[in-house]
Amino acid sequence: MKTKMKLAALALSAVMAAGPALAELVFPSLSYRTGPYAAGGAPFADGYADYFTLLNERDGGIGGVKTKVIECETGYNTEKGVECYEATKGEGSLVYQPLSTGITYQLIPKASADGIPLHTMGYGRTSAADGTVFKWAFNYPANYWQGASVAINHILDINGGDIKGKKIALLYHNSAYGKEPIRTLEELSKKHGFELTLIPVDHPGQEQKSQWLQIRREKPDYVLMWGWGVMNQVAIQEAANIRFPMDHFIGIWWSGSENDVLPAGAAADGYKALNFHNVGSDYPIFADIKKYVVDAGKAAGSGDNVGTVLYNRGLYAAMLAAEAARKAQELSGKKDITPADMRDGMEALEITEARMVELGMPNFGPAFKVTCANHGGPGKAAVQQWDANAKKWKLVSDFYEPDMEVIQPLIKADAEAYAKENGITPRECK
Amino acid sequence: MFYREAGDFKTSYVEDSQTFPIRLDRRGYYAIIFIAFAVIPFLINDYWANAVFVPFLIYSIAAIGLNILTGYAGQVSLGTGGFMAVGAFACYKLMTAFPEINIIFHILISGGITAAVGMAFGLPSLRIKGFYLAVATLAAQFFLVWLFNKVPWFYNYSASGQISAPERTVFGIAVTGPHTAAWAKYMISLVFVFVLAWVARNLTRGTVGRKWMAIRDMDIAAEIIGVNPLPAKLSAFAVSSFFVGIAGALFFAVYLGAAEVGEAFGPQKSFLVLFMIIIGGLGSIFGSFAGAAFMVLLPVLLKNVLVGGLGWPTDLAAQFEIMLVGALIIIFLIAEPHGIAQLWRITKEKLRLWPFPH
């Protein structure tokens, strides 16, 4: 009798849990915790999930509506990405963040047709910054072309503004992701008179002997790196092997996490990478994460990534999504927003310093504003440097402004080419 | 008992040599064709099309193509991914260069271009055999991927090297691009699969197929009885690459919509298709379908059961899925080294006699 009662209660609670009655804000997370890029995918997914758990536990969701994160494993594979997108889009998904340039290229047309916004923060298709052509895609606060420009600005800064005749090599993942900065760097090399060498590394990048032999032979003054996953670790190790000066080796923001530098040990000391948000766990929000999420046993994954660079990036992505959802609730006047409302919210998003302080993340990232025509944000980024003794990243520069004079025409040209190929008429932005 | 041929009389040679000589088989085949063409299109939704049917159908074409080369003609190839890339990039160049021509022709021409490329890489097969040929085709795989990455003309000088399929229509209905309806995607794949499987079946049981099999079983003996190895081997490469090229074109244009050569057509694709035909059964059209179903559908099914049904964490489920699929492959091959097709043949034999095996 007793077991029967228990069973009945269990069944009832199962029905209640599965019941549709409660409105939820659904944020799908196309994550990858397996495969050659898992070392980068897992901390990002943890940060993304933990922020929404925190909102649910501390504030009861966004504007009183609970949030729900649906994870789907892609393994950085586009076919699985398609499967994940199709599996989750029917659940009321508000915004997609695939964390893969390949999957982003797939989803830009699909999500636009389905009317679901796409946020590719610091990756994806750079020309999605042109809001007149890419109505549903956003890549604020920074993109690869801005990253390339910031890296060059940093080199200019170190060299007192003159890098004529210097040799700069780009070591890149031989894929859509790694090829993104090439065009910008070519333009910049014309403008500043440096010599650019392109050195591709094929997926997944475990073998880079020949590339580093080439670097050793040609002795570039600086090496820029567009790498991801295991490629970063191998590159830093190889750079150490040929005794390349580490502070002349600058990675993009996806080549600057703890996972990338720790395997090389003390030899990685001084390695630089870009970043568009701050590092470390010295912010009030981390006390809340500890109290409501980690100590409550609700942390995503194994819970040991809190405070790492990529965890912070996941957290930052989730914060921007949550703020956009809040904005959308405000604009539409309803609590339970649709993907279309979410898009309007993202387009009207404004992150101020005051708001960052309220959120417990003072100085975590730059203040910026998204507009109808500019989905890309200001593109400010800073340089962080690895301290191998303290095992910590530290920002060593201010947030640089990218050279939009060079980048804006490129964005416009690429967006126009896309619009022409796909028969899109750019919309008017007031 | 269930499956018998007693009373199933044939009165003409045509009847005797048909593909499905047993009545029950034939009815099953007609039933499947009817369901595939007249029932599924009305029930299908985006998830079933994009995650299940379209990849299954397209991989079936690739598996049939490789099976013609490896299973029927005995030439081991590890270049399938590279040849799929040729089909995909040919289709992309044709789609963007001649937007006024129907996509069906583009896909067929892509197959033709791939056939030409396949024949060029098939030439060494006249001198080298077995593992050495496998290595030569693996070189084709790496060369083709490198080529499509290196030469910007192939991807129309886009900044990232990605190719994306613009919208194209057949009879006014979009079959590529983001606005394609699930049923349209499914139907175009199905039509290609149906026609190509029919062609493959009839090629392999005619003169051409017999020549291929003679070469496969013993090439010197084949030469002595009058099979010229040059046209036999090259025709196998051409037909196989034609199929694989069409699979690549559909894979890019209809299924993915955007592709990146290293990611979508890397060596792992060659191995995936090779596993399909080994698990499905070498030298069998049914085996190609069975192998494609096994390799494409099983991971999706496992994911849905483990994550959707049992609520496992996604990473644990993904790892477990890799282990389970690997274990199943080994178990299958130990239980029946000739693949699922042979398993099915044995089952049929048993069912004929059941329940009185003596």
Per-residue pLDDT tens over the stretch A182-193? 989 999 999 999
Assess B323–A contact: CB distance below 8 Å, yes or no: no
SS (H, E, C) A181-213: CHHHHHHHHHHHCCEEEEEEECCCCCCCHHHHH
pLDDT digits (tens, 9 = 90+) for A123-182: 988 888 999 999 999 998 899 999 999 999 999 999 988 899 999 999 999 888 888 899
- Whether omega for the bond prior to residue A204 falls within 30 degrees of 0, making it cis, is yes
Cα angle A170, A104, A27 (rounded to 5 degrees) comes to 125
**Residue B284 to residue B68: CA distance in whole angstroms:** 9
Mean pLDDT of A84-99: 90
Lookup: tokens for B313: 């964490």
Q: Are B254 and B186 in contact (CB under 8 A)?
A: no
Given pLDDT bands bounded at 50, 70 and 90, which one contains residue A9?
A: very low
- Whether A82 sits inside 8 A of B51 (CB atoms) is yes
Query: Which pLDDT value is given to residue B207?
Result: 93
A421–B51 C-beta distance less than 8 A: no
- The pTM (predicted TM-score) of the whole model is 0.90
Q: Which of A106, A143, A183 to mutate to test the interface with B (most CBs of B within 10 A)?
A: A106
Distance from CA of B179 to the nearest CA of A (A): 6
Which tokens hold the place of A36?
């050659």
- Chain A residues in contact with B264 by the CB 8 A cut-off are 78-79
Residue B130 has pLDDT above 90, yes or no: no
What's the confidence (pLDDT) of residue A7? 44
Chain B nearest-CA distance from A423, in A, is: 8
Chain B residues whose beta carbon lies within 8 Å of the beta carbon of residue A179: 159-161
Query: What is the three-class DSSP state of A274?
Result: strand
- Tell which wins on pLDDT, A181 or A21: A181
DSSP secondary-structure letter at A229?
T
pLDDT in tens, B24-52: 888 889 999 999 999 999 999 888 998 99
Instruction: List Cα–Cα distances, B190 to A121, A149, B40, B175, B197, in angstroms.
Output: 38, 48, 11, 12, 10
Question: Among partner residues A38, A83, A110, which is closest to B300 by beta-carbon distance?
Answer: A83
- Can you tell me the mean pLDDT for A359-375? 90
Q: How many Å separate Cα A196 from the centre of its chain?
A: 26
Residue B260 pLDDT greater than 90, yes or no: no
Least confident of A15-19, A341-345, A373-377, B280-284: A15-19
Q: What are phi and psi for residue B45, nearest 5 degrees?
A: -120, 180
Number of other CB atoms surrounding residue B253 within 10 Å: 31
Which chain B positions have a beta carbon within 8 Å of A71's beta carbon? 313-314
pLDDT at A14 > cutoff 60: no
How far apart CA A222 and CA A225 sit, in angstroms, is 10
Q: Which of B288, B221, B240, B235 is nearest to B58 (CA)?
A: B288
Please state, in angstroms and as integers, the Cα–Cα distance from residue A163 to each residue in A148, A157, A246, B313, following that order: 15, 10, 19, 50
pLDDT, tens digit, 9 for 90 and up, residues B172-189: 889 888 888 899 999 999
User: What span, in angstroms and rounded, lies between the C-alpha atoms of B272 and A72?
Assistant: 22
Q: What is the mean pLDDT of residues B225-242?
A: 94
pLDDT digits (tens, 9 = 90+) for A38-54: 888 999 999 999 999 99
Q: What are phi and psi of A224, to 5 degrees?
A: -100, 145
Each residue of A283-325: pLDDT tens digit?
A: 999 999 999 999 988 888 888 888 899 999 999 999 999 999 9
Q: Do A83 and B50 touch (CB under 8 A)?
A: yes
Beta strands in A220-367 (DSSP E): 222-226, 249-251, 272-275, 350-351
Evaluate if residue B312 carries a pLDDT over 70: yes
| Pairing outcome for strands A350-351 and A368-369 | antiparallel
Q: How confident is the model at residue A17 (pLDDT cuts 50, 70, 90)?
A: very low
The stretch A19-48 carries a mean pLDDT of 84
Residue B2: per-residue pLDDT:
67
Q: Which residues of B touch A89 (CB under 8 A)?
A: 46
The answer to whether the CB atoms of B47 and A86 lie below 8 A apart is: yes
Q: How far is CA A184 from CA A163, A191, A402, A411, A420, in A?
A: 16, 11, 11, 10, 22
Q: How far is CA A317 from the centre of its chain?
A: 7
Chain B residues lying within 8 Å of A86, measured CB to CB = 46-47, 50-51
> To the nearest whole angstrom, how far is the Cα of A311 from the nearest Cα of chain B?
17
C-alpha torsion angle, residues A16, A20, A22, A27 (rounded to 10) = 120
Mean pLDDT in residue range A46-74? 92
Please answer yes or no on whether A78 and B317 come within 8 Å at the CB atom.
no
Q: Which residue of A has its CA nearest to B46?
A: A86
Please give, rounded to a whole number of angstroms, the shortest distance from the CA of B141 to a CA of chain A. 14
B336 inside 8 A of chain A by CB: no
* CA-wise closest residue to A120 among B133, B160, B134, B99: B160
Alpha carbon distances (Å) from B154 to A201, B88, B110, B134, B193: 20, 10, 13, 26, 27
Q: B51 contacts in A (CB within 8 Å)? A: 82-83, 86-87
Q: Does B130 touch chain A (CB under 8 A)?
A: no
The whole-number pLDDT of residue A13 equals 43
Per-residue pLDDT band at A11 (split at 50, 70, 90): very low
Q: Which amino acid is located at A151 in the chain?
A: A
- Give A211-269 pLDDT, tens digit per residue: 999 999 999 999 999 999 889 999 999 999 999 999 999 999 999 999 899 998 899 99
Is the pLDDT at B270 greater than 90, yes or no? yes
The Cα–Cα gap between A91 and A80 comes to 18
The answer to whether the Cβ–Cβ distance between A82 and B179 falls below 8 Å is no
> Is B322–A42 a contact, with Cβ atoms under 8 angstroms apart?
no
Q: Tell me which residue has tokens 């200019």.
A: A156
Query: Which pLDDT score is estimated for B1?
Result: 57
Residue of B150, B315, B316 for testing the chain A interface, max A β-carbons within 10 Å: B315
Nearest residue of B to residue A112 by CA position? B178
Q: Which domains, ranges and CATH numbers included, belong to chain A? A: 24-143+280-379+410-421 (3.40.50.2300), 144-277+381-404 (3.40.50.2300)
Give B284 to chain A, closest Cα distance, Å: 27
Which among B321, B304, B315 has a CA at the least distance from the CA of A300? B315
Contact residues on chain B for A33, CB-CB shorter than 8 A: 314-315, 318
Burial class (CB in 10 A: 0-12, 13-18, 19+), B114: buried
Cβ contact, residue pair B314, A87, below 8 Å: no
CA angle, residues B123, B128, B132, in degrees to nearest 5: 115
Binary contact (A79, B256; C-beta < 8 A): yes
Task: Evaluate whether B88 touches B113 at the Cβ level (below 8 Å).
Answer: no
pLDDT at A19 over 60: no
Q: What is the pLDDT of residue A12?
A: 42
Neighbouring CB atoms inside 10 A of A286's CB total: 18
CB contact under 8 A, A101 and B158: no
pLDDT of residue A4: 45
Contact check, Cβ <8 Å, B167/A423: yes
- Residues in chain B with CB shorter than 8 Å from the CB of A105 are 160, 162, 164, 258, 260
Q: How confident is the model at residue A1 (pLDDT cuts 50, 70, 90)?
A: very low
C-alpha to C-alpha distance for B21 and B13, rounded to whole angstroms: 11
Query: Chain A: residue nearest B95 by CA?
Result: A421
Nearest CA in chain B to A88: B47
CA angle A108–A112–A113, rounded 5-degree value: 120
Mean pLDDT of chain A: 88
Residues B351, B358: Cα–Cα separation, whole Å: 13
- Strands of A270-334, DSSP E: 272-275
For residue B315, give the nearest of A34, A174, A180 by CB distance: A34
CA distance A37 to A231: 9
Phi, psi torsion values for B264, nearest 5 degrees:
-85, -30
Cβ-defined contact of B262 to A174 (cutoff 8 Å): yes
Domain boundaries, chain B: 24-266
Residues of A in contact with B266 (CB under 8 A): 203
The 10 Å Cβ neighbour count of residue B160 is: 24
Chain A: give the shortest CA distance to residue B48, in Å.
9
CB contact at 8 A, B78 and B141: yes
| Strands A249-251, A222-226: pairing kind | parallel
Q: How many CB pairs under 8 A join A and B?
A: 109
Q: Which positions 142-181 of B are in contact with A (Cβ < 8 Å)?
A: 149, 158-162, 164, 166-167, 177-179
Q: Which chain B residues contact residue A43 at CB under 8 A? A: none
Smallest CA–CA separation between B51 and chain A, in Å? 5
Check if B300 contacts A (Cβ < 8 Å).
Answer: yes
Distance CA B76, CA B132 (A): 9
The pairing of beta strand A167-173 with beta strand A195-201: parallel
% of chain A at pLDDT higher than 70: 95
> Is B263 part of the contact surface with chain A (CB cutoff 8 Å)?
yes
What are B166's two structure tokens?
A: 């613009």
